Amino acid sequence: MMQALIFDLDGTLIDTVYAHVFAWQRAFAEVGLAIDGWRIHRRIGMSGGLAARAPPASSGREITEAEEQALLKRHGELFRQFLPERRPLPGAPSCCAPCARSKIRYGIATSGSRPEIDLSLEALGIGSETVVIERRDVKRETRTRPVPGVPGEARRAGRRVLRRSAMRSGTCWRRGAPTC
């Protein structure tokens, strides 16, 4: 029997994908990298570090650790500027209610980090009782999708151990079937 559910945040529960694409595109442009939006879009949902490294690498330029950190910081600033209010996707706010009624533990796993995710959690009404695993909670070498990455860490981390859990990621929303 499933004892826990782990929900992906960006693009699954909250409509943030294109703001992330635009923020990454602008951050890259500011350091002289013209990266096509489709190259960035493919990487939304991966760790921020991978999103910062992969598009420049595809254009033939490797970035340093310091450049990666600067890109991550600038992406966060631009993301908060582009999307000062967050909107849950249809059906998302009611996804967690059946879990609570059925006493199924649930958590949120995201490749994002605070403060970028705070408004998204607020828009969903996610309180401190919910386990939230963010980018900084995951060891650098495991920051890829699928497991072990964020979902794998979410199964092991937080105030509760989420064993026998299932991951609900963005694909159900993109197909227009918000079944939780």
What secondary structure does DSSP assign to 42-79, as a single string? TTBTB-HHHHHHHHHHHTT----HHHHHHHHHHHHHHH
Compute the mean pLDDT over every residue in the chain, rounded to the nearest whole number: 74
3-state secondary structure of 8: strand
pLDDT above 70 as % of the chain: 71
Buried b (16+ CB within 10 A) or exposed e, 68-80: bebbbebbbebbe
DSSP assignment string, 83-112: -SS--BPTTSTTTHHHHHHTT-EEEEE-S-
Residues 179, 18: contact at Cβ < 8 Å? no
Q: Which two tokens stand for residue 83?
A: 């999307």
Question: In the prediction, which pLDDT does 142 show?
Answer: 43
28, 56 contact by CB (below 8 A) = yes
Residue type, 165: S
Q: Which residue has the higher pLDDT, 20 or 49?
A: 20
User: What's the pLDDT at 10?
Assistant: 85
Distance between CA 62 and CA 67 in Å, rounded? 10
Question: What is the predicted pLDDT for the residue at 162?
Answer: 43
62-66, 81-85, 151-155, range with the lowest pLDDT: 151-155
pLDDT for the residue 143: 41
Q: What is the pTM of this model?
A: 0.71
Per-residue pLDDT band at 27 (split at 50, 70, 90): very high
Domains for the chain: give ranges and CATH numbers. 4-15+86-174 (3.40.50.1000), 17-82 (1.10.150.240)
CA distances 132 to 18, 65, 103, 117, 167, Å, are 22, 26, 18, 10, 13
Average pLDDT over residues 2-16: 84
pLDDT of 25 over the 90 cut: yes
Asked whether the predicted pLDDT for residue 80 surpasses 60, the reply is yes
Structural contact between residues 138 and 153, judged by C-beta atoms closer than 8 angstroms: yes
Residue type, position 9, single letter? L
Q: What pLDDT, on the 0 to 100 scale, is given for residue 7?
A: 86
How far is it, in rounded angstroms, from Cα 95 to Cα 26?
A: 33
Give me the mean pLDDT over the 24-31 stretch.
Answer: 93
